[in-house]
Each structure stands twice: as C-alpha cells, then as structure tokens.
Structure 1
Amino acid sequence: MAFYFVQFLTGLASAASLFLVASGLSIIFGVTRIVNFAHGAFYMLGAYVAFTLTARFSGALGFWGGILAASLIVAAIGVVVEMLLLRRIYHVPELFQLLATFGLTLMVEDLVVLTWGPNDLVGPRAPGLRGALDFFGQKIPSYDLFLIVLGPAVLGLLWLVFQRTRWGVLVRAATQDRDMVAALGVNQKWLFTSVFALGVFLAALAGALQIPRDAANHAMDLRVIVDVFVVVVIGGLGSVVGAFVAAVLVSELNAFGILIFPKISIILVFLVMAVVLIVRPWGLLGRAEAPARRTPGLAVHPWRILTSNERIAAAVALLLAASLPLFAGNYALNVGAEIAIFVIFAASLHFLMSAGGLASFGHAAYFGLGAYGVAFAAKLAGLPMIAALLLGPVLGLLGAAVFGFFAVQLSGVYFAMLTLAFAQIVWSIAFQWVDLTGGDNGILGVWPEHWAASPSHFYWLSLAVAALVVGALRIAMFSPFGFALRATRDSPLRGEAIGINGKRIQWTAFVIAGLAAGIGGALFAYLKGSVFPDVLGIPLSVDALVMVLLGGVETVSGAIVGAIVYKALSIWLVSQTEWSKLVLGGFIVLVVVAFPKGIVGTVEAIWHRRPSSVKAALLASKVETAE
C-alpha cells in the first residue's frame, strides 16, 4: 500500500511541472488563439538557462534566485519573439502561426546545442530539499513534496490574478471575445505581449524546476509538448483550472499505467484524450466557442482543362524528372525517390486541407500504416512486391475510415487534436506490440524485388506512382464530389439545405487522403528496406503540414512544390552544415512572414498582377505614340 501511495505522490510531483507548462500554453491560446508549438522550446530554454545560473553563478544568485532569474530571462526572450515575429502574423490563419512557431522550435534546438553542447546537463540539488522522507519503508524525495505544494499554490495565484485584478479581467474578456475588447479601446498589442510573457514565464519556470529531477537535454522540448497538448485539450483550451485537473489526471495515468497496464501504458493518455474530445470536444472545463477562422483552401471554380501551355509545362517537367537517371548517381536517385514519395504524402494532406478545410495533425498515422501494411504483407505473408504494394495501403485506408468517422464530427483545432490523439494511439501500439511490429527494433529486410531493386528503376516507379496519385487527387478535387466537399467547408448549413451530407462527404475525403498517404508509406517501406514506429510519429505529421503550408494551401500545386523544396532543402542542409535545423527553421519563419500565401501562392499572386501592369504599359505606349 505504501508503494502505491508513493507512486501517487510521484505522479502529483510530475503533475505540478506539467501544469505550469500547460497553464502557460492554455493562457496564450485563450487570448491570442496561437497554437504555440514553440512552448516546449521555452520550457527547454528555462532548464538550460537555470542550469547555467545555478551551477556556474550560484554564489551570486543562489539556487532559488537562479531559478527565478532564468524564468524571467526566458520570459524576456518570449517578449522579443512576440514583438518581432508573432505580431506580424496575428492576422494570418492559425495554421501559419503554428508553422512559424515550429520553425522557431527548430532554430532553438540547434541554438541550444550550439550554446550548451550536445551532452545532457545535470543540475544541482535544491538546498534544504536534498533528502527524502520515510513513509512505511518507502522514500519520498523532499523536492517532490515541494513540487506537490507548488502546483496548487501557483493555481491559487493565477486565480487571484485573473479574478481580482483589472489585467486579469481584461484577459478573461479577451478569452471570450477579443474583438469586443479591442472595440472598448484596450490596447490589444500590449495585452497579447503581457499574456505571452506570462505563459512563457510559466513554461520556463517548469523547465528550471526540473533540473534537480532530470538532466537538461536538447530533446526535452518535443517530449513535453506532446503531453502539454494532451493536458490542454483534456482540460479545455483557455481553462487554467482545467489544465490543473488534466495535468493530475495525465500524470497519474503515466505513473500507474506502467504498473497496472504495462502493455498499453503509453496508449492510455491518448485514449482518454480521444474519448474526451468525442464526448465533450471543448474539454472537461472548457467552453464551447464560436467557430475559428476557417482553414484557407481552394476557391470554388469550375473544372478547367489545362491550357496548351500548362499541358506542355507539365509534360516537360515530368520528362525532365524522368530523365534524372540518365545523368545522376545512385545517391541522387534515392533522394529523388524519397522526394517523389513525400510529394504523395503532402498531396494527400493538401487534398484534405484545401478542398475540405480539415487540418490533420496526425496524418503520419496513415502513411505509417501503409508502410506497416507492406511490411506485414511482404515479411509475414510472403507476398510478392506488386501484391504487397496493392494491399499495404489498404491498412492506411482502414485506419482513416475508423478514425475519420469520429474526427469529422469535430472541427477546427478540436479536429486537429483528435487526429493527433489517434496518430499517437497508433504509434503507441506499434512501439509496444513488439511481437507483431518489432517495437523500437522495427521490421527489417523489406527490400524491393529485382525488377525494382536498382536505384533508377525504383526512382521511376516512385515517380510514376506519384504522378498517378497526384493526378487522381486533382481529378477528385475538381469533380462534383470536390465541389460538394468545398461547399461543406465554406457553409455547412447551406450545403445541408441543398441536400449535401456534409459529414459523409468529409469522411469520404478523409478516407481518400488516408489511402493516398498509405500508398506513399508503402513505397517508403521499400525505399528504406525497413519500417520503424517513427513513420507514425508527430514529427512526420508536422513535416507534412510544413510542406503543404510552405507550398501554399490555397493552390493546386502547392503541395508538390512544398514537398520538393522542403525535402530537398532538408537533405541538402544535413549534408552541408551541422546546424541544418537552425537554417531550415529560419527559412520557414522567413516564408511565413514574407510569403504567407506560400511559395506557389506568392508566385501566382505576382503573376496575376502582371496582366494589369502589361496593359498599363501598352496603354502608356499608345498614348505616347498618339502624341
């Protein structure tokens, strides 16, 4: 009994740190509506800065002074980020803000390694809290007891700030209706800055307080951000009390899941998140909100056959791509095949986002299911390559059919978070079901047959499949089904009034996108010769979002260009510099700030402005001639 009580207290100690990070993210989202992917980066910075101040400048500041100073320093960095970056993109859709904060995360990861090195850093113990208390033979660290008290204390302070101060009233009002707050004359810029500073301070404080318990490392940002998203969604976006309740729930599930349900311990948290979103989409203590700005997508316009110039340009581009094996080496061909596969992956998500307005945060689930489907067919069933390529993507289709049925019942950020929960459930199963998937060791030896074994042959196969899949998605996008899907995206009530079953249309689109992603995953398994749980992970889902938004979600060919640019740049930077994340993250931030419509969207906007300028020039020349 004592052991379980100590385990419960350990869960409460973890809940305190998780609550600090989650409450900061919840406050920021509640007011600014930014899904701040960089929140984990500020948590990591808090740990590293606190290590420096407590381990190397302990004489001047002391341990607790170093913790507080580190939190304030990182909060000041957050203010600079908000003023220089986020203020410029508050008006753009939430997904582009997510893309910018993802780029910022990449930059911070490399900056941390550049400043503190790649090794884990163990911080000093808290003075006066280095021992442990004995409880019926079980030891409880004194520092854990301190954290258990700290969590409710911070919750109480936040409650007082939001309930008893004018600033807190403004924050609560902005959470409900920020446009009305602006209409009353409140300076939104400084309100957003102060809220962002408080949220970053809480995240940095959580990271700083972790150094006596865990070593600071450059992977802790992505590790914590997943749990934080889960806590915020379960508790309710914008609810600090909900974040506290959810943090306790998640931490205790993590603490006891490994004891009671060891084979599904990782899945438990995401199962709870999925159930909460299905039953109560706005979280346990959140409030139903008005629909957010819709995801930008393609405008509804009739099907237009490609003009002769466009057909020629497409044919030339495809022929140039097909001629790559004539002059490129094996490495370039492998890179080309990988880019073609990710074109399929990005195009599948682009179809869902552009025509359907559905931004999935867990699209890698269907890419990974396609890869595992091929591995099962080839290794377990012993099927030939063609049969495996045909049957493997069906697993992605089935996963999309099951998960999509529940996901399309929601919209906006809740839809995105439910897709994230489902993707993490699939990843957890692949990671823990060792007998079937091999767990972290993966499934090895998934090699193509002799007819596709050479780099040139596999490249041509990947290019041909990519062309077919992209063409099929384009036809679907501009078919009557595509028009119905866009009508549901733009006005569900009007669509329903004219007889369109919106949920069924969206579910069908989800299944189509899942099948297309599964085809890409099937080819990816043969390209790499193995399948690991990483193909189902959050980083790959984020890559897909980056590729779509980078190319331009409001364009037809944005996913193709985005995938080519992002993958080619990623692979090239890794081979050219040790700081590839820093350069790539900076490039992403630059594109979001300077070209919010994406690469293709910006080019099209410039091109569409060109005829008017040409006409003006011609008119001017005529006037000069007449004179």
Structure 2
Amino acid sequence: MAFYIVQFLTGLASAASLFLVASGLSIIFGVTRIVNFAHGAFYMMGAYIAFTLTEQWSGALGFWGGIVAASLVVAVIGVLVEIVLLRRIYHAPELFQLLATFGLTLMVEDLVVLTWGPSDLVGRRAPGFKGAVDFFGQVIPSYDLFLIVLGPLVLGALWLLFQRTRWGVLVRAATQDRDMVAALGVNQKWLFTSVFALGVFLAALGGALQIPRDAVHHALDLRIIVDVFVVVVIGGLGSILGAFVAAVLVSELNAFGILIFPTISIILVFAVMAVVLIVRPWGLFGRKEAPARRTPGLTIIPWRALTSLERLGAAVVLALAALLPFVGGNYALTVGAEIAIFVIFAASLHFLMAVGGLASFGHAAYFGLGAYGVAFLAKLAGLPMIACLLLGPLLGTIGAIVFGVFAVQLSGVYFAMLTLAFAQIVWSIAFQWVGVTGGDNGILGVWPEKWAGSPAHFYWLALGITALIVASLRVITFSPFGFALRAMRDSPLRSEAIGIDGKRIQWMAFVIAGTAAGIGGALFAYLKGSVFPDSLGISLSVDALVMVLLGGIETVSGAIIGAIVYKALSIWLVSQTDWSKLVLGIFIVLIVVVFPKGIVGTFETLTARRRRPPSAEPAVLSAEMESAR
C-alpha cells in the first residue's frame, strides 16, 4: 500500500508543473483565441534560462531567485513576441496564428541548441529540499512534497487574481465573449498583452521548477505541449480549476497507467480526452462559448472551374515535372517523389479545410495508417506491390470512418482537438504494440518491386498517383456533393433547412480526405522502405497544416504550392545548414506577416485587385461587409 501512496504523491508532484503550464495556455487561449503552439517553447526556455541563472549566477540571485528571474525574463520575451508578432495577426484566421507560433517553436529549438549545446543539462538540487522522506520503507523526495504544496497555492493565488480584481473580471469576461468586452470600451491590446505575459510566466515557471527533477534538453517543448493540450481540453478552456483537476488526472493516469496497464499506458490519457470531448466538448469545468462572430478574411473564396488556358498551363507543368528523370539524378528523383507524396497529403487536408471548413490537427493518423496498412500486407501477408497499394490505404479509410463519426459532431477548436486525440491514440497503439508494429523500431524492408524499384520509375508512379488524387479531389469539389459540403460550411442552419444532411456530408468528406491521405502514406512507406510511429505523430500533422496555410487556404492550388515550397525548403536547408529549423521558422513567420493569405492567396488577391475596375470597388466592399455579417 505504501508503494501506491508514494506513486500517487509522485503523480501529484508532476501535476504541479503541468498545471502551471496548462493554466497559462488556458488563459491565453481563453482570451486571445490563439492556439499557442509555442507555449512548450516558453516552458523549455524557462528551464534553460533557470539552469544558467542557478548555475552561473547562484551567488547573486540564489537558487530561488534564479527560478523567479528566469520566469520573468521569459515573460518579457513573451511580451515582445506578442507586441511585435502576434498583435499583427490577431485579425488573421486562427490557424495562421497557429502557423506563426509553430514557426517560433522551430526557431527556439535551434536557438537553445546554438546557445546551450545539444547535450542534456542536469540542474542542481533545490536548497533545503535535497533529501528524502521515508514513508513506511518507501522514499519520497522532499522536493516532490514541495511541489505538491505549491500547486494548490498557485491555484489559490490565481483564483484570487481572477475573482477579486478588476483585471481578473475583464479576463473572465473576455474568455466568454471578447467582442462584448471590446464593445464596453476595454483596451483589448493591453488586456491581451497582460494575459499573454501571465500565461508565458506560468509556462516558464513550470519549466524552471523541473530542473531539479528532470534533465533539460531541446525536445522538452514537444514533449510537454501535447500533455498541456490534453489538460486544457479536459479541464475546459479558460478554467483554472479545470486545468488543476485535469493536470492531476493526467499525471495520475501516467503514474499508475504504467503499473496497471503497461501495454496501453500512453493510450489512457488520450482516450479520456476523446471521451470528454465527445460527451462534454467544452471540458469538465469549461462553459459553452458565445457564438463566434465572423470577421472579414475568414470567408473562403468559392473555387472556380479552370479556364482553358489554366488547364493548358497545368498540363504543361505536369509534363515538365515528368521530364525530371531525364535531367535529374537519383537524389533529385527521390526528393521529387517525396514532394509529390506530400502534395497528396496536403491536398487531402486542404479539401477538408477549404471545402468542408473542418480543420484537423490529427490528419497524420490516416497518412500513417495507410503506411502501416502497406507494411502489414507486404511483410505479414506477402502480397504484391499493386495489391498493397490498392488495399493498404483502406486502413486509413477505416480509421477515418470510425473517427469521423464522432469528430463531425463537433466544430471549431473542439473538432480539431478531437482529431488530435484520435491521432495520438493511433500513435500510442503503434508505439506500444511492439509485437505487431515493431514499436519504436518500426517495420523495415518495405521496398517496391522491381518494376517500380528504380528512382525514375517510382518518381513517375508517385507523380501519376498525385495528379490523379489532386484531380479527383477537384472533381469532387465541383460535384453536387461538393456544393452541398460548401453550403454546410457556410451556413449549417440554412443547409439543413433545405434538406441537406450536414453531418453525413461532413462525415463523407472526412472519409474522402482520410482515404487520400492513406494513399499518400502507402506511397511514403515504399519510398522510405520502412514505417515508424513518427508517421502518425503530431509533428507530421502540424507539417500538413503548415503546407496548407503557407499556400493559402482560400485558393485552388494553395496546398500544392505550399507542399512544394515547404518540403523542398525543409530538405534543402537540412543539407545546407545545421540551423535548418531556425531558418525555416524565420521563413514561416515572415510568410505569416507579409503574406497573411498564404503565398498563392496573396498573389491571387493582388491580381484580382489589378483586374478589378475602379467602379466595382464600392460594390465589392459592400458584398464583403455583408459576407462578414
């Protein structure tokens, strides 16, 4: 019994740091509606800066002074980020804000390696808490007991701040309806800045307090951000008490899951997240939000049919791409095949987002399932390559069929978070079901047959399938089904009033997008000759979002251009510099600021303005204002 009590207390100690980070993210999202993917980066910066201050400045600041000073330094950095970058894009679509914070994350990952090196750093013990307490033969670190006490104290301080101060009242009001708060004359800019500063301070404090418990390394950001998303969703967006309860729940599931359910311990947390989203989308302690008001720039421009000249241009580009084997070497052909595969992946997500209005944060699940489907059929069943390519993606289709039933019942950020939960469940199964998937070792030896084994032949295969998938998605978009899907996206109530079964239409779109992604994953398995759980991971899902948003979600060919630019730039930077993430992150942030509609979207907007006669401006502006209403 003593062992289980100690395990429970260890879980509570972990919950304290997780609560600090999650409460910061919950506050930031609740008020600003920014899906701050860089929150994990601020946590990591807090740990690194705290390590430096407690090691090199311990004489001047002391250990605890270094912890607080590190959190304040990161908070100031957060304020600068909010003023210089995020304040410029508050009126941009929410997903572009995600793109900007993802770019920041890439930059921070390389900056910490450049500053502190790639090796893990081990911090010193906290003064006064270096020993341990004996509990019926079991040892409890005294620092864990300190964290257990600290968590409720921080919760109480935050409760007083939000319940007993005017600033706290404004923050709680903005969490429920920020437009109404603005209508009352509150300066939203400085309210957002102060909220962001507090959220970043809490994240940095959570990271700084972990240095006596864990080694500091440059992968801390991605490790913590997934758990933080889970906590925020379970507890409820904007709820501090919810973040505390959910942090305890998640930490205890992690602590006891490895003991009671060792083969599915990782799955438990994401299963709970999925159940909460399905039963109570706004979380255990959250409240239903006021209906979102549409702002200019969010209306997706209807896709139009290609003109004869544009069809000719597309055919010429495809023909030129098919000539690559005659002028490029094997490396260029391998890179070209990989880019073509990611065009399929990005186009499938673009179809779901642009036509269906459904932003998925877990689209890699179906890409990875398609890859695993091919690996199972090729290695376990010994089927030929053509059969594997035809049947393997069906595993992605099955996943989309099952998950889509639940996902389409939600909308907005709740839909996105449920897709993330499902994707993480699939990733956890692949990671822990070692007997079937190989776990972290993956499935090796998934090579194409002789007829597709040369780089040139495989490139032509990938290019042909890519062209077929992109064309098929476009045909579906302009079919009666596509028009019904867009009607549901633009006006669910009117669509249902005229007899459109909106949920069924959205579910079918979800399945179509999942199947297309599965086809891309099947090709990817043959390209790499192996399949690993990373093909299902959150980082790959974010890559797909980046490709779509870089190209432009309001465009026809945005996903294609975005995938080509992002993937080609990523591969080229890796071969040219050790700081590829830093350069790529800067590029992404510049694109968001300079081209808020994406590369293709900005080009089309400029072209349309040049072609528009001056007399048409008032009519167009009136139409845009009416659309915004």
TM interval, short-chain normalised = over 0.9
Contact 1:15–1:248, Cα closer than 8 Å, also in 2:
yes
Q: Is the CA contact 1:93–1:293 (under 8 Å) kept in the aligned structure 2?
A: no
Name 2:620's counterpart in structure 1: none
CA distance in 2, matches of 1:425, 1:482: 30
Distance 1:352 1:586 in 2: 28
What is aligned with 1:588? 588
Hey, what does 2:142 align to over in structure 1? 142
Q: Deviations over 1:410-452 (max 9, x none)?
A: 0000000000000000000001111111111111000000000
Instruction: Determine the structure 2 residue equivalent to 1:349.
Output: 349
Deviation track 1:451-498 (CA, whole Å, cap 9, x = no partner) reads 000000000000000000000000001111011001111111100000
1:184, 1:148 → 2: CA distance? 40
Aligned to 1:619: none
User: 4+ residue runs of structure 1 moved beyond 6 angstroms?
Assistant: 613-616
1:514 maps to 2:521:
no
Partner-residue secondary structure (3-state), 1:128: coil
Aligned-partner Cα distance in 2 for 1:297–1:232: 28
* CA deviation vs aligned residue, 1:325-345 (integer Å, no higher than 9, x gap): 001000000000000000000
Query: What CA distance in whole angstroms lies between the structure 2 residues aligned with 1:146 and 1:181?
Result: 39
TM superposition shift of 1:56: 0.8
Matches within 5 A, 1:191-590: 191-292=191-292, 296=298, 298-300=300-302, 304=305, 306-590=306-590
- Tell me if 1:125 matches 2:125: yes
* Partner in structure 2 of residue 621 of structure 1: none
Distance in 1 separating the partners of 2:394 and 2:293: 34
Identify unmatched segments of 5+ residues in structure 2.
617-629
Tell me the secondary structure at the aligned position of residue 210 of structure 1: coil
Q: Report the CA distance between 1:611 and its aligned residue.
A: 2.1
The answer to whether the 8 Å contact 1:349/1:360 transfers is yes
Report if aligned partners of 1:549, 1:598 keep a CA contact under 8 Å in 2.
Answer: yes
Deviations 1:511-537 (A, max 9, x none): 000000000000000000000000000
Letter in 2 for 1:511: V
Residues 533-554 of structure 1 deviation map (CA, whole Å, 9 limit, x = unaligned): 0000000000000000000011
Q: Residue 622 of structure 1 corresponds to which residue in structure 2?
A: none
Other structure's SS at 2:392 match: helix
Partner of 1:489, secondary structure, is helix
Q: SS of the residue aligned with 2:393?
A: helix
2:234 counterpart SS class: helix
Give how far 1:176 is off: 1.6
Aligned to 2:98: 98
Deviation track 1:337-364 (CA, whole Å, cap 9, x = no partner) reads 0000000000000000000000000000
Q: Deviations over 1:178-205 (max 9, x none)?
A: 1222222211111110000000000000
Deviation of residue 290 (structure 1)? 2.8
Residue in 2 aligned with 1:33?
33
The aligned amino acid for 1:352 is: L
3-state SS, counterpart of residue 133 of structure 1: strand
Where 2:134 maps in the other structure, the secondary structure is strand
CA distance, structure 2, for counterparts of residue 363 and residue 307 of structure 1: 31
Cα deviation, residue 614, structure 1: 11
Q: In structure 2, do the counterparts of structure 1 residues 412 and 560 end up closer, same or farther at CA, with 3 Å as the change threshold? A: same
Q: Paired residue for 1:620?
A: none
Shift of 1:615: 11
Contact preservation (8 Å) 1:340, 1:466: yes
Task: Report the AA paired with residue 241 of structure 1.
Answer: L
State whether residues 177 and 290 of structure 2, in contact with CA within 8 Å, keep that contact through their aligned partners in structure 1.
no
Q: 1-side partners of 2:527 and 2:54: how far apart? A: 48
**Partner secondary structure for residue 123 of structure 1:** coil
SS in 1 for 2:284: coil
Give how far 1:297 is off: 6.1
Q: Is the 8 A contact 1:78 1:196 kept in 2?
A: yes
CA distance in 2, matches of 1:170, 1:521: 47
Answer yes or no: is the 8 Å Cα contact 2:108–2:582 preserved in 1. Answer: yes
**Residue 297 of structure 1 contacts residue 354 of structure 1 at CA under 8 Å; is this kept in 2?**
no
Amino acid at match of 2:176: Q
Shift of 1:173: 1.4
Is contact 2:301-2:555 (8 Å) kept? no
Give the aligned CA root-mean-square deviation in angstroms: 1.3
Tell me the SS of whatever aligns to 1:289. coil
| Alignment partners' CA distance in 2, 1:602 and 1:101 | 20
Could you tell me how far apart the structure 2 residues matched to 1:314 and 1:161 are? 59
Corresponding letter in the other structure for 1:231: V
Cα separation, 1, equivalents of 2:371 and 2:509? 21
Q: Is the 8 A contact 1:291 1:412 kept in 2?
A: no
Contact persistence 2:176–2:290 (CA under 8 A) = no
Partner of 1:625: none
Q: Distance in 2 between matches of 1:10 and 1:46?
A: 22
Query: Which secondary structure does the structure 2 equivalent of 1:140 belong to?
Result: strand
> Unpaired runs of 5+ in structure 1?
617-627
Counterpart Cα distance in 1 of 2:180 and 2:298: 24
- Counterpart secondary structure, 1:134: strand
2:151 aligned partner: 151
Q: For the residues of structure 1 that align with 2:47 and 2:183, how far apart are their CA atoms? A: 40
Task: Name the CA distance, whole Å, in 1 between partners of 2:169 and 2:286.
Answer: 17
Deviations 1:114-155 (A, max 9, x none): 111111111111001000000000000000000000000000
Distance 2:298 2:611 in 1: 25
How far apart, CA to CA, are the structure 1 residues paired with 2:365 and 2:530?
17
Deviation at 1:298, TM superposition (A): 3.8
Distance 1:530 1:162 in 2: 51
Aligned to 2:597: 597
Q: What's the TM-score once normalised by structure 1's chain length?
A: 0.97
**Residue type matched to 2:365 in 1?**
A
Residue identity over aligned pairs, in percent, reads 84
What amino acid is the match of 2:104? L
Q: How many residues get paired?
A: 614
* d(CA) in 2 for partners of 1:615, 1:21: 53
